[in-house]
């Protein structure tokens, strides 16, 4: 593995993150460019499925933020919060959020 793949340890991680970043930034030209690159990496089905996950977590995040649910111990923490932290993604800790 090289580059971002080595950093994330995820196959085609760099292309997945570039497309995700472009969509979240609402940058039309970057979306088109990174979508093509992602399609070359994971195939058109993979692009569709990536867009689906992006949709899902735009729902999850806003529901969580707007309702103040506590973070689940165990799987959610391990698979998102801890993995995100390891990847340097800077998730807010529940403690940081509670102090607001």
Single residue of 20, 30, 33, 37 touching other proteins by CB under 8 A = 20
**Which tokens in the block code for residue 9?**
């340890």
| From 2, 3, 29, 90, residue interacting with other proteins (rule: CB under 8 A) | 90
Binding to other proteins in span 28-47, by CB under 8 A: 28, 31-32, 35, 39, 42-47
Whole-number Å distance between alpha carbons of 87 and 10 = 11
Q: Are 19 and 47 in contact (CB under 8 A)?
A: yes
Cβ-based neighbours of 7, under 8 Å, separated by 6 or more:
13, 87
Selected binder of other proteins within 1, 6, 11, 40 (CB under 8 A): 11
Apex CA 7: angle with CA 63 and CA 79, to 5°? 35
Q: Considering CB under 8 A, how many residues would be counted as binding other proteins?
A: 69
Angle of CA points 93, 69, 55, to nearest 5°: 85
Task: Check binding of 53 to other proteins (CB under 8 A).
Answer: yes
Residue of 30, 33, 37, 97 that binds other proteins (CB under 8 A): 97
Q: Does 2 bind other proteins (CB under 8 A)?
A: no
Radius of gyration over every alpha carbon of the chain, rounded to an integer in angstroms: 15
Binding site for other proteins (CB under 8 A): 8-13, 16-17, 19-21, 23-24, 26, 28, 31-32, 35, 39, 42-72, 74-76, 78-81, 83-84, 87, 89-94, 96-97, 100
């Amino acid at each position: 593995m090289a580059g971002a793949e080595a950093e994330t340890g995820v196959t085609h991680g760099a292309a997945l993150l570039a497309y995700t970043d472009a969509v979240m930034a609402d940058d039309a030209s970057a979306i088109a460019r990174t979508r093509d690159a992602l399609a070359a990496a994971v195939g058109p089905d993979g692009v569709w499925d990536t867009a689906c996950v992006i949709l899902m977590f735009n729902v999850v995040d806003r529901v969580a933020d707007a309702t103040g649910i506590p973070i689940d111990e165990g799987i959610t923490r391990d698979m998102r919060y801890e993995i995100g932290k390891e990847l340097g993604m800077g998730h807010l800790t529940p403690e940081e959020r509670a102090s607001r």
